[in-house]
Structure 1
Amino acid sequence: MDKVYHFLTLAGLAVYWLLVAGVTIRVVLKRRSVSVSLAWLMVIYIIPVVGVICYFMFGELNLGRKRADRAKDMFQPFGNWFHKLNDCTAHVPDQLGIHISKIDYLCNNRIGIPALCGNTLDLQTTPEQILRSVIQDIEEAQHSIRMVFYIWYPGGLADSVASALIHASKRGVDVKVLLDSAGSNTFFRSHWAKMLKDNGVSLVEGLEVSPWRIFLRRLDLRQHRKIIVIDDDIAYTGSMNMVDPAYFKQGSGVGQWIDIMVRVTGPTVNVLSAIHCWDWEVETGERSFPVQPECEIEIPIDSKPIQVVPSGPGMPEHLIYQVLTLAMHQANHSVTITTPYFVPSADLLETIKMTAQRGVKVELIIPQKNDSLMVKWASRAFYTELMEAGVQIHEFYGGLLHTKSVVIDELFCLVGTVNIDMRSLWLNFELTLAVEDPVFTKEMYSLQKNYMAQSDTVDMETWHRRSLYNRFFERIFYLFNPLL
């Protein structure tokens, strides 16, 4: 019997080391940054068995065969729809300013989406303002409502939104709601999911999480967009999930979540509607296109453009990352960034540092308390080299600052769903708006200044006196930053 146990032990070790060797070769042969490859090799070798399982679950961008095939088949038809936007009077290349013109060229060449003029923008900054505005627009909907969110959490005014959708469906409005399975797990287990379905709302669970899918699709690939489109006339996007912050994560110890949404009217609404149609088809296989925006509209000479920038599996790789770096490279005076999760790639970190080193005022506003302990420590691992490069860091103490925004030269801004981390910029389904509207941008910058007024600015001397305990955890989680 001892010989049998000895043989089984040796056989198990041999199989394990063959598996480790195979995964190692796979990691090395994959074309990605050296830091990501080294981080995964460290996980595989330091954490026996579990490291290999983690790599199969999270190590590669695997959308799943069915969704990947759909996305491949969809690209040309959607590309044709996007390219038609170039024929609209809303696309006015001559009116594009210095900041957005190169972004227009980039997005047009890579995905076919041009920057469009003739829009109106309303920056909404409080939960009650946002949710009541959404409810009112839903109550006035005539034909269709399209939604996609990462999180829908029951409670408060979020329940009023669900009720408004039910009433809209009952009066004949076509309502389609796509929610991420992981982010909206609580909602799908609540009575609201059944009520919506029972009353004619098409409710779809995106990127379903279940144990048997572990080796079929990367489980941490998430639908992170936040879009509402009503009658193809009104749209919302921004950082806020479908939650009432007064009822959401109250026991997490980070305070109330601080978010924004942008209410949009004009030609850009149709583009946001098309992004929802893309997500809907990836998940369900059902194809539909919104109507093209009205192309014979008169565009005021001072009408500033909006560029819709989507990213995610099946779309051109790294598009939002490219837009972000292009915007910072064009900054002449200032760059102000708000993000809840700051874990940049090595390349993006160098872009931020170089922007500050060439004399541009770079300010970073992040929450003092974070709902992710790993992200909190990993973020602080970058403080020293950022401050040495001239970046000013402000830690917001008024809650969990969840707003994702970048303001360039107080004239141009990026707002949307994108965090400054690898997950948002390289993995998830995300969306950002590039806006070249001085009035809107100044409003956005004023909000950022308000965040700074509720922040503690990190002092270099004080930072250097932090404890060895803090330094230890910063270094530990810094090693894992390519995987966060």
Structure 2
Amino acid sequence: MTVAVEHISTDQPPDEAKARDLDYGWQGGNRVELLENGETYFPQVFDALRKARREILLETFILFEDKVGLELKAVLIEAAQRGVKVVVSLDGFGCGELSPAFLRELAEAGVAVQMFDPAAKTLGIRTNWFRRLHRKIVVVDAEVAFIGGINFSADHLGDYGPEAKQDYALQVTGPVVADLHHFALAQSGRQVRTRRGWRRRQQRPSPWHTEKGDGQVRLIYRDNVHHRDDIEEAYIHALSQAQKRVVIANAYFFPGYRLLREIRNAARRGVRVQLIMQGQPDVLLAKLAARTLYGYLLKDGVVIHEYCERPLHGKVALVDDDWSTVGSSNLDPLSLSLNLEANVLIRDRAFNQHLYERLETLAKNHCRTMPENRKQRLWLWRLTVGFLVFHVMRHFPVLTGWLPAHKPRLKPFEVQHHDT
């Protein structure tokens, strides 16, 4: 018996008209809820999936066959068996260790499983490292959506141990869910409705219709063709307008010069700028790269905290009293120049204040703060390593640009098994 699982690459829309159609604006009247870590995120997502009546669209960078992944599989299979259309898009690198049996069970239950740019190992090593599907989006019945940085893996739960990740996501209801639904459909290669058609579905009664919210929300994303810089430009614009405070909590921090300059300039004009970065990294290079920037930022008054309790995996920020962002994009060359990412921008004072309080608690209670006059001992090896890390990271997007770019394609690959 052969079960077909789809193999998809969606680096770019097929034409200019579609690219323009996927340029989303601000939507008012949304309710947004911050979900911190897996303990909050997974129960909310699984509850939404169990309530699904028509459709589930899910895409994630990582899905492991651990207790979280197994529960997700069971929930998706149950949904498909009761007639819900389920489409799951997985990254070929982040989900490259999933077993054929795991995928087969989903496919046999009627789940449409798609793998973005999978590749066989070379000498036992996966080599498809770059231009990944790094988004984490779930949309249920075009009525409730989740977006952020949390993957479907047990290392987002506190009981995983010292390596459990600190992370954030968002649950959204309201008009912007239609944009998230349209985007997820388009990226999965499915047929999408016109804007009028997909927004009309929001008016149908559903379990997710609650009191109208006040949040202005906008979906932004990056691809490798028409929207290369949208997320970076959103940060730059918000920072250039900052007057009071800026807090950025980001796991992998090595932005380009324009973004660094806006961070520095905000601090120079008296804005309180705080960066929360990894002190206990899951990738050592990330910490080394970020630290090469400390001197540049500290001398102009930027406050730098290193989160040391466990690995930081968050990708959130806030500016002043009402602007915030939550999503999948780090501020490093992979996210800003190569990966497929998605964030939402939020204009909501109550949400901004809640996020600020959570990040302030993190900074005060679980971080060490770098001294303003911090000086490294300039040992020869430290100078050499710092020089190499800085310049490799600085030129990383250009170097990887020499590699073949993904091309849009949708073709099946097969997982085979034999009946006994």
| TM-based fold match above 0.5 | yes
1:459 to 348, 352, 371: 371
Residue 280 of structure 2 aligns to a residue whose secondary structure is: coil
Q: Which residue of 1 aligns with 2:20?
A: 79
* Superposed CA offset, 1:56-108 (max 9, x none): xxxxxxxxxx856x7233x414634x5xxxxxxxxxxxxxxxxxxxxxxxxxx
Residues 31, 212 of structure 2: 8 Å contact kept: no
User: Which structure's residues are more often strand, by fraction?
Assistant: 2
2:137 to 206, 227, 234: 227
Q: Alpha-carbon deviation of 1:329?
A: 0.4
Q: Which residue of 1 aligns with 2:5?
A: none
Q: Which of 1 and 2 has greater Rg?
A: 1
- For 2:37 and 2:289, locate their aligned partners in 1 and report how far apart those are by CA, in whole Å: 29
* Superposed CA offset, 1:6-25 (max 9, x none): xxxxxxxxxxxxxxxxxxxx
Q: Alpha-carbon deviation of 1:158?
A: 2.9
Q: Which residue of 2 aligns with 1:201?
A: 111
Q: Does 1:470 align with 2:376?
A: no
Moved more, 339-348 or 468-477: 468-477
How do 1:428-447 residues align onto structure 2 when only pairs under 5 Å count? Answer: 428-447=339-358
Change in Cα spacing, 1:414 to 1:67, as seen in structure 2 (3 Å) is closer
Q: Where in structure 2 are there 5+ consecutive unaligned residues?
A: 1-8, 204-210, 398-420
Q: Where in structure 1 are there 5+ consecutive unaligned residues?
A: 1-65, 83-110
Q: Alpha-carbon deviation of 1:381?
A: 0.5
Q: Alpha-carbon deviation of 1:474?
A: 1.8
Change in Cα spacing, 1:466 to 1:446, as seen in structure 2 (3 Å) is farther
Q: Does 1:423 align with 2:334?
A: yes
- For 1:451 and 1:211, locate their aligned partners in 2 and report how far apart those are by CA, in whole Å: 39
Residues 131, 158 of structure 1: 8 Å contact kept: no
Q: Does 1:288 align with 2:229?
A: no
Q: Alpha-carbon deviation of 1:388?
A: 0.6
Q: Does 1:121 align with 2:32?
A: yes
Residue 29 of structure 2 aligns to a residue whose secondary structure is: coil
2:153 to 238, 243, 246: 243
Change in Cα spacing, 1:126 to 1:316, as seen in structure 2 (3 Å) is closer
Moved more, 260-269 or 453-462: 453-462
Change in Cα spacing, 1:470 to 1:441, as seen in structure 2 (3 Å) is same
- For 1:339 and 1:76, locate their aligned partners in 2 and report how far apart those are by CA, in whole Å: 34
User: Which structure's residues are more often helix, by fraction?
Assistant: 1
Residue 354 of structure 1 aligns to a residue whose secondary structure is: helix
Q: Which residue of 1 aligns with 2:61?
A: 150
Q: Which residue of 1 aligns with 2:181?
A: 273
Q: Alpha-carbon deviation of 1:184?
A: 0.8
Which structure exhibits the higher relative contact order, with contacts defined as CA atoms closer than 8 Å and separated by 6 or more residues?
Answer: 2
How do 1:322-471 residues align onto structure 2 when only pairs under 5 Å count? Answer: 322-452=233-363, 453-465=365-377, 468-471=380-383
| Aligned AA (1:433) | V
- For 1:227 and 1:220, locate their aligned partners in 2 and report how far apart those are by CA, in whole Å: 20
Change in Cα spacing, 1:183 to 1:248, as seen in structure 2 (3 Å) is farther
Aligned length: 377
Change in Cα spacing, 1:380 to 1:332, as seen in structure 2 (3 Å) is same
Q: Alpha-carbon deviation of 1:278?
A: 2.2
Residue 198 of structure 2 aligns to a residue whose secondary structure is: coil
Residues 156, 247 of structure 1: 8 Å contact kept: no
| Aligned AA (1:439) | A
- For 1:235 and 1:67, locate their aligned partners in 2 and report how far apart those are by CA, in whole Å: 21
| Aligned AA (2:14) | K
- For 1:478 and 1:249, locate their aligned partners in 2 and report how far apart those are by CA, in whole Å: 35
Q: Which residue of 1 aligns with 2:392?
A: 480
Q: Which residue of 2 aligns with 1:192?
A: 102
| Aligned AA (2:138) | I
TM-score (norm 2): 0.83
Over aligned residues, Cα RMSD in angstroms? 2.9
- For 1:458 and 1:205, locate their aligned partners in 2 and report how far apart those are by CA, in whole Å: 42
Residue 344 of structure 2 aligns to a residue whose secondary structure is: strand
Identical-residue share of aligned pairs (%): 24
Q: Alpha-carbon deviation of 1:330?
A: 0.7
Residues 131, 161 of structure 1: 8 Å contact kept: no
2:169 to 235, 254, 261: 261
